[in-house]
Structure 1
Amino acid sequence: MTEPVAAAVDSLRLVDHHVHGAASGGLDAAGFAAGLSESSWPAPAGTSHLDSQIGFAVRRWCAPVLDLPPHVDVPDYLERRRVLGPAEVTRRFLTASGIGCFLVETGYRADEILGPAEMASAASTPTEPASAEEVVRLESVAEDVAAAGTDASGFAAAFAAALDERARGAVGLKSVIAYRYGLDFDPEPPDPGEVRRAAGQWLRAGGRLTDPVLLRHLLWVGVERGLPLQFHVGYGDTDLTLHRSDPSLMTGFLRRVQDRQVPIMLLHCYPYHRTAAYLAAAFPHVYLDVGLAINYAGSRSAAVVAESLEVAPFAKVLFSSDAWGPPELHHLGALLWRRAMTELLGAWVSSGDWSSADAVRVAAMVGAGNARRVYALGER
């Protein structure tokens, strides 16, 4: 009874609705280990970040893609990567992932990673071409505007014009307000005077954008564009104050924008993925994924995926790898998601709780269909 489910999940051409580019150059041992950790700090002396669920998952599931045995030692793994070279390593992992479309967020260290067109090219085969679209980070656009030169009175207009230009070919927008301030922000849009005063202070001080008034302003300008708006939620690096990234803190904003019919995409979400699932069930415009957590949970990823499917409507859950840097993460995110869905849906079919047809249909929705609908990919 479960064979059709396994076959359907395995054959899906996934849409990775939130992802970053693979590393554009080679990675040494330190760079590779750093790419498999959200910590900004090296591992304690005598230990390794690779002694983790994600490190073990890479050695188990990624080694065979490089023609190595599962669980190969790290030095042998890194040597094989070096011999093959970054382009071949990336090609192997992206094509093995079975991801047919990447929605690439380009606002973070873009000079170190492949852009959307390069991702599509590396993931394509003669029989299975891949595609990629861009997701624009609001804060990066604002910082580019400041770097190009503007004054306080001209900031709002300059940002709006720059966003229009950057978003012209994009399928979505993203905010990292969870990092820069927190999700406990004032849900109301700031008035023009507040924006002008805050812009003046920021432009004089310089640095990255952390002012809560301006961050709120960017959100509302983004809402006006009508594109799906992604929010980093939960698990992330040490720049984050975790308890302020609980998505329930932005409930006021969700209520405030509901009538705008702008899809709000809650990304990653762990350990607040059950909260995000509740919000997706409660609000018609809220969606979620557990992308980043899948890779970092490794052999426990099925438990995280299962929890995300407890109360969320299945039309509100999307697949994401949130991979950045080592292309192992793009492949691993897809592989672990497929393993989790096959295990979970197969068990529900075997128990008689679900029909095989429903399981296949839900897998297709979460793996690709929901993203194609929400981001209007079929219209491009």
Structure 2
Amino acid sequence: MSAEQLAEAVNAVPLVDHHVHGALVAELDRPALELLLTESDRPLPAGTTQFDSQLGFAVRRWCAPLLDLEPHVDPDDYVARRAELGAAEVTRRMLAASGVAHHLVETGFGGADVLSPAGMARASGARADEVVRLESVLEDLVRSGASAGQLPERFREALAGRTASAVGLKSVVAYRHGFDVDPRRPTDAEVVAAAGEWLRGCENAGRVRVDHPVLLRFLLWCGVDRGLPLQLHAGYGDPDLDLHRCDPLLLTDFIRLVEPTGVDLLLLHCYPFHRNAGYLAQVFPHVHLDVGLAVNHVGARAAAVVAESLELAPFGKVLFSSDAFGPAELHYLGAHLWRRALHRTLARWVDDGEWSTSDAVRVADLLGHANARRVYHLRDASA
């Protein structure tokens, strides 16, 4: 098989994006688009542009041709063409070009501003299933009037109902506290006491946002009890988290406690701790990882991150995700840049005689879709 044939094989993999959010419904002007090309939630410094970043360059290089523009087009011309086509058409083009065959859509963020799993399926022509965020289920339950004393039992019931057709669960404990949380399962009495304290704080703050460490532990263990694969944001994210507390190595005791249950844990994104995540995936049978989110933001350096994710982790434990949220450029680039990075990595190892071409193709299939189908018990669309 030639280098060109290897590239064709990687590009032909029907990707399962095992962690993604909905594409944005609204139209975007340039300032709004730029704010979605960074994990920062702060205004840009005067005289700077988010197009001057790895992700900004990638949008101009790889997304512009999908909008009938030349590569490296001027940002203003790109935004003008985007507005001319309209958000729905841009989304359709980007999703279709991504080559994603199955979206596992986490629905805990964005609400009606982004496409639902069904909306993603319609816009892309691909399959879509839901991943339910644990924290959102609890927050919705409290908004419906659940008291502290009712919370443990009512949450278990609510979670069972919300996940009746879901393929996985997600926790943002890394954002709400950090991984340096007590890994043990709390008692219901501890949960009730913590809920009373937390609800009083919610009343004072005027918002419902679960961040009490005892309640976060409760959610994690309810997720484990539910038996679905459990996704955990790790590493890089917006300024709402403390990055040094998002190293997945801090989860080691929790990982050990979960192991006898057989529930799979999926460490999402992981950058810059992806090598640490690779270690955990190697030594614990139920731990898996991806480098989604990072791939978009490192742009032309994606091959380095993808290669590093394949150093320690067994190849049956690494999955593809984009973690795209908002403009559909991120959904397309998450897939396109990952494919390019994977091909460059595999081709180098094949050229060096380290790998056979057939093994390279087989690993691309594992990472691109087969591992996700196994972990999430997904039916192959061709079956």
Q: Please tell me whether residue 362 in structure 1 is matched to residue 363 in structure 2.
A: yes
Contact 2:278 2:289 in 1 (8 A): yes
Contact 2:373 2:380 in 1 (8 A): no
Aligned match for 1:192, one of 188, 195, 202: 188
What is the distance in 2 between the residues matched to 1:228 and 1:200? 30
Q: Deviations over 1:92-144 (max 9, x none)?
A: 000000000000000012221000011011111xxxxx100000000000000
SS at match of 1:89: helix
- The equivalent of 1:315 in structure 2 is 316
The CA deviation at 1:205 is: 2.1
SS at match of 1:59: helix
SS at match of 1:17: strand
- Structure 2 counterparts to residues 168-207 of structure 1, below 5 A: 168-206=164-202, 207=208
- The equivalent of 2:351 in structure 1 is 350
Q: Please tell me whether residue 301 in structure 1 is matched to residue 297 in structure 2.
A: no
- Structure 2 counterparts to residues 241-256 of structure 1, below 5 A: 241-256=242-257
Residue identity matched to 1:204: R
Runs (4+) of structure 1 exceeding 3 A deviation are none
SS at match of 2:18: strand
SS at match of 2:27: coil
What is the distance in 2 between the residues matched to 1:3 and 1:81? 32
What is the distance in 2 between the residues matched to 1:342 and 1:332? 15
What is the distance in 2 between the residues matched to 1:121 and 1:268? 27
- Structure 2 counterparts to residues 38-77 of structure 1, below 5 A: 38-77=39-78
The CA deviation at 1:270 is: 0.2
What is the distance in 2 between the residues matched to 1:240 and 1:62? 30
What is the distance in 2 between the residues matched to 1:30 and 1:147? 33
SS at match of 1:193: helix
- The equivalent of 1:238 in structure 2 is 239
- The equivalent of 1:13 in structure 2 is 14
What is the distance in 1 between the residues matched to 2:223 and 2:344? 38
- Structure 2 counterparts to residues 49-128 of structure 1, below 5 A: 49-124=50-125
Aligned match for 2:132, one of 133, 136, 144: 136
The CA deviation at 1:157 is: 1.0
The CA deviation at 1:192 is: 1.3
What is the distance in 2 between the residues matched to 1:266 and 1:81? 34
Q: Deviations over 1:190-236 (max 9, x none)?
A: 11111000111112221311000000000000100110000000000
What is the distance in 2 between the residues matched to 1:278 and 1:52? 30
**TM-score, with length taken from structure 1:** 0.97
What is the distance in 1 between the residues matched to 2:68 and 2:62? 11
The CA deviation at 1:379 is: 7.9
What is the distance in 2 between the residues matched to 1:67 and 1:100? 24
Moved more, 254-263 or 201-210: 201-210
- The equivalent of 1:338 in structure 2 is 339
Residue identity matched to 1:296: H
SS at match of 1:153: coil
Contact 1:183 1:250 in 2 (8 A): yes
Q: Please tell me whether residue 30 in structure 1 is matched to residue 31 in structure 2.
A: yes
What is the distance in 1 between the residues matched to 2:6 and 2:111? 38
What is the distance in 2 between the residues matched to 1:134 and 1:98? 19
Contact 1:13 1:99 in 2 (8 A): yes
SS at match of 2:353: coil
What is the distance in 2 between the residues matched to 1:286 and 1:260? 12
Provide structure 1 residue ranges, at least 5 long, that are not aligned to the other structure: 125-129
Contact 2:20 2:325 in 1 (8 A): yes
Q: Deviations over 1:66-87 (max 9, x none)?
A: 0000010110000000000011
What is the distance in 1 between the residues matched to 2:351 and 2:43? 45
Aligned match for 1:161, one of 135, 154, 157: 157
What is the distance in 1 between the residues matched to 2:130 and 2:111? 12
What is the distance in 2 between the residues matched to 1:379 and 1:304? 29
- The equivalent of 1:210 in structure 2 is 211
What is the distance in 2 between the residues matched to 1:274 and 1:116? 31
**TM-score, with length taken from structure 2:** 0.97
Equivalent residue pairs, number: 375
Q: Please tell me whether residue 268 in structure 1 is matched to residue 269 in structure 2.
A: yes
What is the distance in 1 between the residues matched to 2:93 and 2:150? 47
- The equivalent of 2:205 in structure 1 is none
Q: Please tell me whether residue 145 in structure 1 is matched to residue 141 in structure 2.
A: yes
What is the distance in 2 between the residues matched to 1:71 and 1:2? 26
User: In percent, how many aligned pairs have the same letter?
Assistant: 60
Contact 1:4 1:360 in 2 (8 A): no
Contact 1:175 1:231 in 2 (8 A): yes
- The equivalent of 1:127 in structure 2 is none
Distance 1:325 1:350, change over 3 A: same
Contact 2:62 2:333 in 1 (8 A): yes
What is the distance in 2 between the residues matched to 1:187 and 1:379? 35
